[in-house]
Structure 1
Amino acid sequence: MRESIEARKIDGLESINLLFVDDEIAILDSLKRLLMREPYGKFFANSAAEGLDIIEAEDVHVVVSDVKMPVMDGMTFLKEVRRRKPQIVRMVLSGAADLDQIVDSINNGEVYRYILKPIQIVKEFRATLLQAVELYNIKQQRFQLFEELQASNTKLREWQQKMQKELGLAGALQRKVLSVAPYIDSQMEIFSAYEPHISVGGDLFDVFSLSGGKVCVIIGDVAGHGVAPAMLSMLLRVLAGETAQAMHDKGPAAVCNVIHQRFLQYVQDPEFYATLFMGFFEPDISAWRCISCGHPQAFVYPQNPDIDLNKGVYPVGLAIGPSEIADSSDEIILPVHAGMNIVLYTDGLVESHKTSPNESCPAIDLSKVISTTLESRALNPARRIMEKVQDHGCELNNDDCSVLTINHVDMKDILWSGRVELSLVYAEKIARDIHDLFLEQGWADSFAWSVRMVVHEFAVNIIDHSGLSQGQDFYLSVRLKEGLCRIVFLDKGKEWDYLSTKSLMHKNPLYSERGRGLEILSQLCRDVLIFRRSGVNHSLFTVINDDAASIVKS
């Protein structure tokens, strides 16, 4: 009586159904009397077949079966129960003669426990049934937890896929904002390369023109990885651009003080700050006025030991720093000379690692990597510097990585430059004059003709297809150094997709005329780069002298 009362106090026993199977009616009647006051639901069957019908029709949780029964014995019956309803807890009610067979079944997982006939200690019998019920509940809880875990894992995978998609979209938009299109004018060429740690990154960079012929360059790195630094990098880029445009005449130190103060107003989290390098090219003094706010040291080539590049101030947005982080004495003045190169980069370039986490990256002489890259005169030196670091067996996946290269054109290398009017006759004359200049300097006629064809074909292309009207013109520059000729066109005509048009011209005769001599250009040029920046189409072509190909190969 006491055990039954305690059993009733256990939550949920009323919902548990027990099935007893025995071919002896007397045994089943005895079990009914023993369990009359127990809270379980109880079913009784005097054959295995009847027992199987009951488990199919009712929600049974524990089965207790005799072993020796006609037609289908108890062990076969319990195996069938396991096959049909594996969640049911199975027990044997049998005599001592069947003990060896029962033990084997227990060891094989067919049976949970056995109860010896005849039942002599009712208290132990009830306790055994209660343990079987508890086992069922544990198995159900485990099964429920497993299902919940699977559902959670499914939701997690869906969330991860969604996040990956959104990160990919955010990364694409960020790359669009962080345009890696070069900056080119008559005095300099600025190239960039960018690789985020994940889809989005905390690096930022920009190049833009200012009034008075000035040029501003910024490159920075927000601390941390992921979405938050990426968003803050875009904020910092906007702040830097707006402030530089508004007060560039006060110099980079004053500009960075304002950027620092505005960043602290917007970002009230001490974990977020940014390194920043800002430079203004001042044509009046032919020099760069720069400041480094905790940013990696710039590299100048050829190197000038008289210039202290190791100067710097607090990073932007550092909460422990002063409200004004710099003054004019912290600025770096870089006098510009013909052919000078400046290389800026974020610390991801120097924090590269081997692909294997157990291997450290070999020490890289970064100055040598940069120098040899600039000497090779690759089309995009910034991208090539990254590739050379990776060629050493290192991966740039430990941090966001950005590189900017600034090359000041040596005016002695310019063979011809100027404005070209929209006239086919004039374009042909310019192409012929450039050809003659090559011959006068002793270059091979084949090389001169290659340059002439590129100049003529693309000039005609601009005249016929750019949409420019009479009275407008375009800029042309032809630079020559050590067997490599760089031809640059700048026009304000409509935007044109070089690669798409080149592809379409092979499929549709309509595009053959609009191809701007694309087949000729692709055959004659080592490099072709066409992009649009600030409403101006930039078209770059590199033609090399076959005799100097081994020297300038990039």
Structure 2
Amino acid sequence: MKQSNDALSIWNKRVARDLELAGAIQRSLFSDVPHFSRRFEMRIAYRTCMDVGGDAFDIISLPDGKHCVYVADVSGHGVAPAMISSLLKATASEMIHRHADEGPAAICNALNAVVRRRIDNPSYFATLFMAVHDPDRLEWCCMNCGHPNPVYVRNGTTVDSSLFSKGGGTPIGFPFGDENPYSKADEVSLKDEGDTFLLLYTDGLTEARHARTGEEFAHRIEAFYEQVVQDPAIPNKAVALLDAMESEDYRLGGDDCTAISIHMLAPHKIVIEQTVPRNIYLVSEIAKQCEVAVAARGISHHTAGLVRLLVMELGANLVEHGGLGEDDSFWLQVRVDGKVCQLVLMDEGAEWDLEEALDYEQNAAHMGERGRGLAITNTISDRIERYRMNDENLTYCTIIDQEEK
């Protein structure tokens, strides 16, 4: 008996290690790095209830300037749904690139056919919501395959989500019925009107129960999200939503939870948007323009000066240390929303070892312009985020104007 118990204990530990490794690999596939474009930004919150999860999502940039985002939820729990979610992501990526010009219905039909052929088990299928953004038409084309409707907030108020239930309805990989169940008639068009928010999520959120009353979160998700998006100083509204749920004693551990918050930017809140050549004099000039632009929107002269210094330091670091070629440039966007200034910079230079650069800042013997500049930008910003995505460096800074007029 003791030998059997010891063998079982060893086996359990091995399985636990394998699941932990599988979870780490899966989380690397489902990155929560935010996505930015000239028209919108997307923020992600992703939590699994076990080491591995059955949710799938992705944000894909397409060659013609379009973007495709989707979220999916595989039926069941455990290892099998986790493997199917990974298969779903790989297959979806291929089908999106292959059929993007035809729209979400064609993408979902192709995805459905592949999943049905590869998953020979009627217990497993996936609900999915997909949206393709067209920057020329300023429009989202959406398809709902049996998934919870998104939350749509426009002018600070939630819009009736039943508009997303026009058609579709059949989950991806559902083993019965037509192999091509989706049509153009099932697609829903949503205008990108600016300063609006769209929340895609899985039912781990709506099925979360209150610790004391047992009440499900489903009927409160709209009010919670509507409240979260009111604060421009909150960068990741998806994470903020989950945090707000937990602060109100809703338990999220019963199922996988994925939330993708899409903020469609208001053009009138973008005060500067420009491609800046790798030239220190032009960087200095654009920094000055940023100061003038944010001050014209009611930002105090002190904070406007900080914005100028921030742009100057970030730009100088890119010019001197970013690994850009002589003819290269970086993209800059500056927004003002009330008292909140936000700066986004994207460049295709070399990936920086930021930890090493800031370590040098702590050691005077190794102090360099690059380390000093990074330390300055960190001090100026109320919040600064740095990411590497799709061979691009992305820096996102927030400065909140605390000055009283």
Q: TM-score range by the shorter chain?
A: over 0.9
Work out whether 1:277 is the aligned partner of 2:133.
Answer: no
SS at match of 1:320: coil
**1:268 is the counterpart of 2:120:** yes
The aligned residue for residue 106 of structure 2 is 254
Larger gyration radius, structure 1 or structure 2: 1
Alignment of 1:194-213 (within 5 A): 194-213=46-65
Q: How many residues align?
A: 398
Q: Give the equivalent residue in structure 2 for 1:376.
A: 231
C-alpha distance in structure 2 between counterparts of 1:522 and 1:282, whole Å: 35
Check the 8 A contact 2:144/2:164 in 1, yes or no. no
TM-score by length of 2: 0.93
* Map 1:507-546 → 2, pairs under 5 A: 507=363, 509-510=365-366, 512-515=368-371, 517-546=373-402
2:301 is equivalent to residue 445 of structure 1 = yes
What does residue 361 of structure 2 align with?
Answer: 505
CA distance in 2, matches of 1:511, 1:275: 53
SS in 2 for 1:486: strand
Note closer, same or farther for the CA distance 1:184–1:306 as it changes in structure 2 (3 Å cut): closer
**Distance apart, 1:504 and its partner CA:** 4.9
Once residues 295 and 34 of structure 2 are traced to their aligned partners in structure 1, the CA distance between those partners, rounded to angstroms, is 31
Q: Tell me if 1:177 matches 2:33.
A: no
Q: How does 1:386-397 map to 2 (within 5 A)?
A: 386-397=242-253
* Alignment partner of 1:216 out of 68, 72, 75: 68
**Structure-2 separation of matches of 1:528 and 1:382:** 18
Give CA-to-partner distance per residue, 1:417-444, whole Å, 9 cap, x none: 1111112222122112221233344431
Q: 1:360 aligns with which of 214, 219, 223?
A: 214
Structure 2 gaps of 5+ residues are none
Q: Give the Å deviation of 1:174.
A: 1.1
| Counterpart residue type for residue 264 of structure 1 | R
Q: Per the alignment, in what secondary structure is the counterpart of residue 488 of structure 1?
A: strand
Mapping for residues 118-157 of structure 1, pairs under 5 Å:
148=1, 150-157=2-9
Cα offset, 1:481, TM superposition:
0.9
Q: 2:206–2:216: 8 Å Cα contact kept in structure 1?
A: no
> How much does 1:152 deviate?
2.3
Q: Which runs of 5+ in 1 are unaligned?
A: 1-147, 549-554
Tell me the distance in 2 between the aligned counterparts of 1:285 and 1:322. Answer: 32
Quick one: which amino acid aligns to residue 226 of structure 2?
S
Asked whether the 8 Å contact 1:314–1:321 carries over to 2, the reply is no
Does the Cα contact within 8 Å between 1:264 and 1:317 map onto a contact in 2? yes
Report matched runs for 1:32-181 at 5 Å.
148=1, 150-181=2-33
Q: Does 1:419 align with 2:275?
A: yes
CA displacement, residues 155-188 of structure 1 (integer Å, 9 cap, x when unaligned)? 2222222222222221111111111111111111
Question: What letter matches 1:399 in structure 2?
Answer: D
1:468 partner letter: L
Q: What's the secondary structure of 1:220's corresponding residue?
A: strand
Counterpart CA distance in 2 for 1:321 and 1:431 is 59
Alignment check: 8 A CA contact 1:298 1:343 kept: yes
Distance in structure 2 (CA, Å) of the matches to 1:216 and 1:409 = 17
Quickly say closer, same or farther: Cα 1:420–1:299, change in 2 above 3 A: same
Provide the C-alpha distance between the structure 1 equivalents of 2:161 and 2:30, rounded to a whole number of angstroms: 34
Shift of 1:387: 0.9
Residue type of the alignment partner of 1:373 = V
Question: 2:147 — aligned with what?
Answer: 295
Q: 1:92 maps to which residue?
A: none
Percent of residue pairs identical? 31
Structure 2 contact 122–174 (Cα < 8 Å) conserved: yes
Aligned to 2:196: 340
Contact 1:279/1:288 (CA < 8 Å) preserved in 2? yes
Offset at residue 519 of structure 1 (A): 2.5
| Alignment-derived partner of residue 110 in structure 1 | none
User: Is the Cα contact below 8 Å between 2:322 and 2:350 reproduced in 1?
Assistant: yes
Q: CA RMSD in A?
A: 1.9
Q: Show the counterpart of 1:3.
A: none
Q: CA deviation at 1:499?
A: 4.2
Tell me how far apart the structure 2 counterparts of residues 218 and 320 of structure 1 sit (CA, whole Å). Answer: 23
Measured at CA, do residues 164 and 514 of structure 1 come closer, stay the same or move farther in structure 2, by a change above 3 Å? Answer: farther
Deviations 1:2-31 (A, max 9, x none): xxxxxxxxxxxxxxxxxxxxxxxxxxxxxx
Distance (whole Å) between structure 1 residues aligned to residue 246 and residue 129 of structure 2: 24
Does the CA contact (< 8 Å) of 2:128 and 2:144 recur in 1? yes
Conserved? CA contact 1:361–1:393, under 8 Å:
no
**Matched residue of 1:322: which SS?**
coil
Partner amino acid for 1:368? A
Q: 1:199 to 1:305 in 2, by over 3 A?
A: closer
Residue number among 154, 159, 165 corresponding to 1:310 in the alignment: 165
Decide whether the 8 Å contact of 2:330 with 2:345 is kept in 1: yes
Quote the Cα distance in structure 1 between the aligned partners of 2:339 and 2:382.
Answer: 12
Q: What SS class does the counterpart of residue 174 from structure 1 fall into?
A: helix
1:307·1:334 contact (CA, 8 Å) conserved in 2?
A: no
Higher relative contact order (CA 8 A, sep 6+): 2
Query: Following the alignment from structure 2 to structure 1, what is the Cα–Cα distance between the partners of residues 389 and 119?
Result: 31
- Per-residue CA deviations over 1:42-85 (Å, capped at 9, x if unaligned) read xxxxxxxxxxxxxxxxxxxxxxxxxxxxxxxxxxxxxxxxxxxx
Give the structure with the higher percent strand.
2
Q: Is the CA contact 1:276–1:292 (under 8 Å) kept in the aligned structure 2?
A: yes
Paired letter, 1:310: S
